[in-house]
Amino acid sequence: MCVPLLCTLVAVPTAALASTPHGGSGGVGIGSSSGGSTQTTTTPGALAPGVVKLGGVVNASGDGITLTVAASGTQGQPLTITGNTPTSDAGALIDIESSKAGHATWTEVATATIGSAGTFSAQWTPATSAQVALRAVLATGAATPGTGSSTGSTTSTNGATGLSGSSDDSASAASDELTTSSLTIPIFKDALATLYGPGFWGHHTACGQRLTHAMLGVASRTLKCGTQVSVFYRGREITVPVIDRGPFANGARWDLTMATAKALGIKETATIGTLNSGLTPALSAHS
């Protein structure tokens, strides 16, 4: 059974839909019961405030340095980090440091040489999926003789994740270092997702909710009911709760409700980015 308008907007291949509650060719377990500085953001604006966030860039500044990076990244894929300093810092090395959001331990993940125009560019490949804080640190008087190319040169990366390893907790307090404020971005993990809904409208999910055409949520085989999961697809991001169990077929790790898929512009089985927030608000059902 399918609402005509929804079918028009979201055309889902039969193979992507759940046809049984416990696996087989289906994808979801309907009815199963398993357990001084500033930071600014530049985005095109959300389609629905509080629901869908569109990609863009985030910026941080401090001590005359600016730092710019995409508003999100993907585990295992290079992330370009750029910025500006006064031209008097040309030739100096500037470090990009990372930390797990909310932690005080910082780890150097990349180093760039500042060009003659005061610009720099670095690349970092995140090794894990998490909310990650980034900042730029410049040791004053650290210019390298004979350097100072016309552009910010590409940098070396040390392969650190920014979530573990050696660190220098006193860096931000050192009087001979200039540091931007930190900015925080999500690092998503790619996974295959199917869609479900038709055939299950009005049924109770494994988390005890009645599935409707407008319900936002995902099905997970392991995460607790109510766990908030950020889902990213082609520049769009939405955070929705786990409302069901599944998928159990097609090699997929997630099932998206039709409303979630519509919000992200997904029309069929697709590779999405996900990040588990770890938050589990109370639901009116068991987990």
pLDDT tens per residue across span 95-151: 999 998 778 899 999 999 999 999 999 999 999 999 999 999 998 854 444 444 444
pLDDT given for residue 53 in this prediction? 87
* pLDDT exceeds 60 at position 235: yes
CATH topology (fold) of 39-180: Immunoglobulin-like (2.60.40)
pTM above 0.85, yes or no: no
More confident residue, 231 or 280: 231
Domain boundaries of the chain, sorted by first residue: 4-35+187-276, 39-180
| 259, pLDDT greater than 80 | yes
Instruction: Indicate the fold that domain 4-35+187-276 takes in CATH.
Output: Barwin-like endoglucanases (2.40.40)
Distance CA 9, CA 11 (A): 6
Q: How many CB atoms lie within 10 A of CB 226?
A: 18
Check residue 173 and give its pLDDT. Answer: 45
Q: Do domains 4-35+187-276 and 39-180 have the same CATH topology?
A: no
- The encoded tokens of residue 62 equal 């401090």
Task: Output the pLDDT for position 253.
Answer: 97
Q: Which is nearest to 252 in space by CA: 189, 205, 191, 190?
A: 191
Please report, as a single letter, which amino acid is at residue 221: R
Interval 52-99: pLDDT, tens: 888 899 999 999 999 999 999 999 999 999 999 999 999 999 999 999
CB of 238 within 8 A of CB of 262?
no
Q: What percent of the chain has a predicted confidence (pLDDT) above 90?
A: 61
175 confidence band (pLDDT: 50, 70, 90): low
Percent helix / strand / coil, the chain, rounded to 5: 10, 40, 50
pLDDT at 176: 84
**Among the ranges given (157-161, 201-205, 224-228), the one the predictor scored with the smallest mean pLDDT:** 157-161
Confidence at 29, pLDDT banded by 50, 70, 90: low
Categorize the per-residue pLDDT at 51 as very low, low, confident or very high, splitting at 50, 70 and 90. low
What are 177-187's pLDDT values in tens digits?
Answer: 999 999 999 99
Q: What is the mean pLDDT of residues 172-198?
A: 88
